[in-house]
Amino acid sequence: MEREMTQIKNSVDSLVTMLRMAHSLENWDNLIDLSDRLLDKVYGPFQENEEIQLPIMEKPLVYYIGYGNLMKGVAYQKKKQYREAKMCIENYKHLHLFSDGSENNQKIVDDFKFFAKANAYTADILSGKLTILAEYATFIQKYPSETLPGLITILECANTRNIDVDEIIEPLATLVNNIKFEDLSSTDCTYYLSILHLLSIYYYKRSHFEHALNSTIQALIFSDKIGDDKQFKKSAALFEICRPRALPEHLEKYYNVLQDYLLGVIKNEECISLDIVAARDR
């Protein structure tokens, strides 16, 4: 029995690691599958015999129940299956049913209840409930941890449904512009880059071409800084679409970004030397 419990512990915590990897790779089908496997591992051994001793895990049981449902809900949301996402949200909204009453368990329950509130807003907005946009904007300004992902939700909604959210995003964009790179976690860096890209698209669709180009250049600089080549390519493609509207200063900045990117790529390659400045002046 002890060996079985150890295997359960190892597999459960390994699945949490695998879930994080699947999320970072944006493999949503795999994320759903891994979430189901995690929940089966947690629930399965205890359903037939309620007196069975729980295995020792790195975190309390209630955490794994919440995390499995959270990640599954995120995957469904990314797949635009909002009804299924909301079902998962309900599952981690009421984790007090699985709490042992300890202070540690209660903190986990409260955390997931907050996540449920934030993600319910997201699912509702992305599924077309636009009447709560202003309410949601107030919510994410109140809770700084939700400002970046919340702005992503609003911009995704605006771009998908082609709606004007200028008044809503103006105060949020000001908050984002005041962010310092050194204060960002790796997750926040991903959020920030997504916001720059979504803003570029939003401004382009609203025919605010100068703003679109400025955001695109920012996205190029930031994606190069954090080594996100995929986003760099998307931003470069968007700039080329906007090029006919670009001012000389936009083209100058764009050239400098590409120059820095190229030099960064080839700096470790042997037998390559480029005098870019000289070549440009010819």
Residue 91 corresponds to which tokens in the numbers above? 């599952």
Identify the H or E element spanning 104. helix 103-126
Q: Number of H helices and number of E strands within the chain?
A: 13, 0
Mean pLDDT of 261-273: 67
Contact 218, 193 (CB under 8 A): no
Residue 136 corresponds to which tokens in the numbers above? 């949601």
Residue 279 corresponds to which tokens in the numbers above? 């070549």
* pLDDT at residue 55, as a whole number: 58
**Helix, strand or coil, per DSSP, at residue 41:** helix
Residue 224 corresponds to which tokens in the numbers above? 């190069």
Mean pLDDT of 248-265: 90
The structural domains of the chain, with segments of one domain joined by +, span 1-127
Domain 1-127: state its class: mainly alpha
pLDDT, one tens digit per residue, over 21-37 is 999 888 999 999 999 99
**What angle do helix axes 28-47 and 2-24 make, rounded to 10 degrees?**
160
Residue 263 corresponds to which tokens in the numbers above? 């030099």
**Cα gap 159→174, rounded to integer Å:** 20
* pLDDT at residue 1, as a whole number: 42
> Structure pTM?
0.83
